Amino acid sequence: MCPVAEIKMRIRENLVHPLEKVSKTGKCDPDLMVKSYSRSAAGRHEIPTQDLRPGPVLCSTVEYLLGRVSTNTELRWVEVYDFIFDRLRAVRQDLTIQQTDDQEAVTVLEYAVRFYIYSGYRLCEEPFERFDPKINGQHTQECLKQLLSLYSTCESHLVHRAEFESLYLVFNLGQTEALQHYYELPMELRNNDLVKMAYRASVAYCLRNYTRVLKCVSSDLFSRQPLLLCAFHSNLTQLQLNALRVMSHGFSSKVLRYPLPHLADMLWFDGLSVCQEFCEACSIQILQEEWLIFLKTSFREPEKLKPVRIAGIDSMLCKRPLGELLLQKNLQSSDPSVLKTNLTELCKPSLSCDPRTNPTEQCIPRSTCDPRANHTEPCKASLTCFSGTNKTQIGRGRGRGRGRKGQEVKHSKTQVQRVLTSEGRSLNICSVQGRHWENRTNICEMKRENESERTLCNERTGTFNISKKEDNLPVQSESREDERFADKDTIKL
């Protein structure tokens, strides 16, 4: 989940987060460390390929963050939010650099949207110094739009599309852009009950029929999706303010009294005291703590209104564990090391191709999570893999070190492997970027000893073409017209 170079740097600079340490001992655990977000700056080099995490690793990382880290009870949840927010931003950065637009990108964005919407509701009462709802809303909007764009290009495995189409409508309640997007949806999605109910609520908000909006949100469809209520809660304070403004003009009278409990119940205020404070902030007169007197001349819109959590939404969110709510799947085990173990097995290479660590000299392809993995079909005699050597080191770089025989001989010795053929002869095989090259001396000896082999050795051009029926070695050719080798044992790479 974190590059090795970053792990060493953060340990050296003492930048390890408490959530990346073992809770009992307080020691740093590299398996718990997650790649942090780094802002692009002038003069910064390009991100190395080995530091980019592929799609499966990104999905496992987000599942670890939302399934295990989010349930931490030792720290305040606002601190947990800051940690997950930063690591999710790094995950999205890797997705953007790799231009991933497959099912794995859809899954990561779905997880991110759920986390942002849930966090926006849970931390709505925190001071602005600790939680900024505007920044959280911007990231929610970006992920939602990117997710809906992927939905239009991805045609399979769109199980949760109706949920997020509804979230987009409710989060952008009454916005013309969201309504226009609804009209562009396929008819199957437009007829979905959940999407249709979210559309009705958005249209009612445009018509300033706020009681109808609350009736739509109070339906059983929204009760089954607590995150929809969290998304609606971001617009609830503005809805309550607009409703009081309309009522101040419609019921403007010095002799008319409106019951305070009825208003609190109708506009989803969490208690009479909360409703009373809200009305006082709008300069609405209250009599005997039970009656309201609306006057259009005295209504004032407050500069800042802090949203308040609602007990009804809290009770719905508590029905499921937080990890299952954000991931929308059952977590089979409560052991925090389960996801970490699965992730380690996903990125663990099977065997090493270094003869010093693997004396049997048998190499297999790298793990599928390595972008440098060799997916070519190996030969029967030996399995080879890419060593990752730079072309500059073997004299084929951008004009640097071209034609240096010393480097070629040195590199050839590190790549040659001796393999016994079916007839008991010794054969040298070299592996470079997934291709198999054979030594010239061994080829000529095989031609003289075995008449069944078809070998073409052109000393003028240096072209070789081998076809061996019994060993079924791959046929490879290489033309050399401008360069000569002084040593027969030197291999042209």
3-class secondary structure per residue, 434-447: CEEEECHHHHHHHH
Rounded-to-integer distance, Cα 263 and Cα 276, Å:
10
8 A C-beta contact, residue 31 and residue 91: no
Joined together, the tokens standing for residue 95 give: 């997705």
Per-residue pLDDT of the chain (493 residues; tens, 9 = 90+): 777 777 778 888 887 888 888 766 767 777 788 888 877 755 566 777 777 888 888 999 999 999 999 998 889 999 999 999 999 999 998 888 888 888 889 999 999 999 999 999 999 999 988 999 999 999 999 999 999 999 988 776 688 999 999 999 999 999 999 999 999 999 999 999 999 999 999 999 999 999 999 999 998 888 889 999 999 999 999 999 999 999 999 999 888 999 999 999 999 998 899 999 999 999 999 988 889 999 988 899 888 888 899 999 999 999 889 999 999 887 654 444 444 444 444 444 333 344 344 444 333 333 333 333 433 333 333 333 333 434 333 344 444 444 444 444 334 333 444 444 444 444 444 443 443 444 444 444 444 444 444 444 444 444 444 444 444 444 444 444 444 444 444 444 3
Nearest to 118 by CA among 134, 97, 140: 140
Position 85, amino acid: F
In angstroms, the Cα distances linking 17 to 20, 116, 218 are 5, 21, 41
- Which positions ≥6 away from 117 have C-beta within 8 Å? 140, 167, 171, 227, 230, 231
Enclosing H/E stretch for 90 = helix 77-98
First and final C-alpha spacing in the chain: 35
Rounded-to-integer distance, Cα 267 and Cα 196, Å:
22
Rounded-to-integer distance, Cα 455 and Cα 103, Å:
48
Helix (H, G, I), strand (E, B) or coil at 492: coil
Q: Could you say which DSSP state residue 391 is in?
A: G
Q: Could you say which DSSP state residue 401 is in?
A: S
Nearest to 423 by CA among 450, 405, 387: 450
Q: So what's the pLDDT on residue 473?
A: 43
Task: Assign domain 4-237+307-327 to its CATH architecture.
Answer: Alpha Horseshoe (1.25)
Q: So what's the pLDDT on residue 41?
A: 59
Whether the model clears a pTM of 0.75, i.e. scores above it, the answer is no
Q: In 10 A of CB 463, how many CB atoms?
A: 14
Q: So what's the pLDDT on residue 34?
A: 85
- Return the domain boundaries, the chain: 4-237+307-327, 350-397+404-493
Quote the strand ranges of 343-425, DSSP E. 416-420
Rounded-to-integer distance, Cα 149 and Cα 104, Å:
14
8 A C-beta contact, residue 406 and residue 391: no
Rounded-to-integer distance, Cα 463 and Cα 166, Å:
64
